[in-house]
């Protein structure tokens, strides 16, 4: 397997980190002005709850998976075995997390309509295999995918979120972006 250039991987990561900083600078004022403080507050509150559940369900799988794949990247049989073990473990932990999340927040809550939409966030975390490509030092694939999806997401925000009535579309746009980033890597780059 060809050794990846540290400089090349660093540049890809730098480009992506710059994108992560620039996108909120562009979208936050627009979203705040368009949706109003109450809707932005609801979004921030509900997404923070879901993020805690996602972190709990992931249990550090990304760091562990990246490290394990990096150790055995030359041995395809071992790599395949470790990959499937980690994916199955993550599906199990995320399934448990989704069930707990559903029982606590989706069944009976003042914001249950938003929590229902945000359950997609947890499903998307189940499909996240970016750790695999990072372990192989394939940063180009991961970052190219993320740049494409984030760019499309920003465009969709400006097209579809035009009034306070479109608050649910913001939720759906952000969640479809998250799911696309996780799923698109499996479809386009494997």
Encode pLDDT of 109-134 as tens digits. Answer: 888 888 988 888 888 888 888 889 88
- Show me where the domains of the chain are located: 6-18+35-188
Query: What average pLDDT does range 175-183 have in this prediction?
Result: 57
pTM: 0.78
Which residues, in sequence order, are CB contacts of 120 under 8 Å at separation 6+? 175, 176, 178, 179
What pLDDT was estimated at residue 7?
A: 86
Q: What is the mean pLDDT of residues 139-156?
A: 83
Mean pLDDT of the 48-60 span? 91
CA atoms of 95 and 59, how far apart (whole Å): 13
C-alpha to C-alpha distance for 164 and 178, rounded to whole angstroms: 22
Angle, vertex CA 51, rays to CA 83 and CA 124, nearest 5: 45
Report the number of secondary-structure helices (H) and strands (E) in the chain. 7, 0
């Amino acid at each position: 397997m060809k050794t990846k250039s540290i400089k090349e991987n660093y540049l890809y990561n730098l480009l992506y980190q710059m994108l992560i900083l620039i996108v909120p600078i562009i979208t936050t004022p627009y979203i705040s002005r368009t949706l109003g403080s109450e809707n932005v507050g609801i979004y921030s509150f509900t997404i923070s709850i879901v993020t805690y559940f996602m972190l709990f369900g992931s249990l550090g799988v990304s760091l562990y998976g990246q490290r394990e794949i990096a150790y055995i990247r030359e041995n395809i049989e071992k790599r395949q075995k470790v990959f499937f073990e980690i994916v199955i473990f993550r599906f199990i932990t995320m399934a448990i997390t989704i069930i707990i999340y559903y029982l606590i927040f989706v069944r009976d809550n003042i914001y249950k309509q938003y929590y229902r939409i945000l359950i997609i966030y947890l499903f998307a975390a189940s499909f996240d295999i970016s750790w695999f490509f990072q372990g192989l030092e394939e940063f180009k694939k991961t970052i190219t995918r993320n740049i494409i999806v984030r760019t499309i997401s920003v465009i969709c925000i400006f097209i579809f979120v035009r009034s306070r009535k479109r608050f649910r579309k913001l939720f759906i746009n952000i969640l479809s972006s998250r799911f696309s980033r996780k799923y698109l890597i499996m479809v386009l780059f494997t």
